[in-house]
Amino acid sequence: MTRSHKPLLEALQASHSVCLLCHVNPDGDTIGSALALRLALMATGRRVEVFCQDKVPDVFLPLPGADSVRGFDSLSEGERFDLLLPVDVSEAHRAGRIGDALAFDALSARCKGTAQVDHHGTNPGYCAVNDVDGTAPAAGLLVKELIAQLGVPLDAELAACLYAAIATDTGNYSHGNTNAECFRATADLLEAGLDLPAWNRRLFQECAFAQQLLLGEALSSLRLRANGQLAVMTLSRNDFARAGALKEHAETVVNQGLRIRGARMALLAREDETGIKMSLRAIAPDRVDTVAARFGGGGHAQASGCTLQGELAACCDEVARAMEEALL
């Protein structure tokens, strides 16, 4: 299947400078897709900058151009762009904040036009041009098509960025959203020079020492609910301190819960400076997006998140009870 991206292509073709925007707590899809689009647009002679409220997680720093991602504090007073383009940002507030102003609003004031590319079915279409397909397993697949329609050939650097996007959002091709399109796209990346063994190891097998220690802290909290169908873990700020870990080191911890035989859902509740972050996962046909939505969050059917305010144990129990109710 090849989608037409004509409205977005026209917006890009009319723009000489483009501001790409990643979502908060960036994952491989938003980072990989933005970096791939950056390379492709630069190849067409455009000025391109990538912004993200939060730092690029260490695991993605080897990607081509990752060191060019800018924080909002680097914006100069007179910096302007023809087009603001959020990538894999499901809602405007997911762009983050600059003081009391939404990053999207603050940046859009510096741009002549706005457009977006995203694959979240819940996306409300907050830009002037909305290239959104909720059936796509990853934004990286949409960006790959867009790059082809821009007339930019794939090379090894583009392939690495797109692989990071597609592979991470499909759980290394293991989530329920993985389909034949993912494998056909990856075959194209291999033909373009993707070093699959090397990038697979960097993204999915290697980790920081502190990340392993943090995993130990989480596993020590592991409890089963709903007759073993729901695996629940917690991480307090003290757990992060003991492990010497960063919040990015917790991103994949929740998946450990689904490794338990009989588990259909998993929950990780972690404490940080903004509240209690909940990571919810499920094995199809069970879904957790509706649960996350009850608490003001969202995401995908089998991978969602939300943030609560309160005490860690109480918040964790509240969401866990809602997940129990959602078990089919």
Say yes or no to pLDDT of 164 above 90. Answer: yes
Which tokens belong to 113? 């036009």
The total of structural domains in the chain comes to 2
Taking residues 272-277, report their average pLDDT: 92
Are 151 and 182 found together in one domain? yes
- Whether 261 shows a pLDDT value over 90: the answer reads yes
Domain annotation covers residue 70: yes
Confidence category of residue 99, pLDDT binned at 50, 70, 90: low
155, 258: one domain: no
Give the mean pLDDT of the chain: 95
Q: What is the CATH number of the domain that holds 178?
A: 3.90.1640.10
pLDDT tens by residue, 178-199:
999 999 999 999 999 999 999 9
- Structure confidence at residue 1 (pLDDT): 64
Residue 1 lies in a domain: no
3-state helix, strand, coil in the chain (%, to 5): 45, 20, 35
Residues in contact with 122: Cβ distance below 8 Å, sequence separation at least 6, in sequence order: 90, 91, 134, 289, 298
CATH number at residue 229: 3.10.310.30
Question: Looking at the structure, do residues 81 and 217 belong to the same domain, yes or no?
Answer: no
Same domain? 150 vs 231: no
Nearest Cα residue to 116 out of 2, 12, 39: 12
Whether 47 and 136 map to the same domain: the answer is: yes
Is 294 a domain residue?
Answer: yes
pTM: 0.89
Whether 98 is covered by a domain: the verdict is yes
- What is the secondary structure of 244-304 as a DSSP string? T--GGGGTTGGGGGGGSTT--EEEEEEEETTEEEEEEEE-TT---HHHHHHTT-EE-SSEE
Predicted local distance difference test score (pLDDT) of residue 122: 87
CA distance 74 to 51: 9
- Same domain as 160, residue 28: yes
- Taking only the tens place, the pLDDT of each residue in 40-71 is 999 999 999 999 999 999 999 999 999 999 99
**Domain of residue 292, residue span:** 209-326
Same domain, 217 and 199: no
Give the C-alpha separation, 12 to 8, whole Å: 6
Q: What integer pLDDT is reported at residue 305 of this predicted model?
A: 93
What pLDDT, on a 0 to 100 scale, did the predictor assign at position 298?
Answer: 85
Given 173, 204, 235, the domain boundary residue is 204
Q: What is the pLDDT of residue 45?
A: 97
- Looking at the fold, whether 279 and 176 belong to one and the same domain comes out as no
Tell whether 223 and 194 lie within a shared domain: no
- Percent of the chain surpassing pLDDT 70: 99
Mean pLDDT of 80-98: 93
At residue 161 the predicted structure's pLDDT band, cuts being 50, 70 and 90, is: very high
pLDDT tier, 100 (very low <50, low <70, confident <90, very high otherwise):
low
pLDDT of 74 higher than 80: yes
Q: Domain for residue 196, yes or no?
A: yes
Question: Which of 179, 204, 229 is the C-terminal boundary of a domain?
Answer: 204
Q: Is residue 200 included in any domain, yes or no?
A: yes
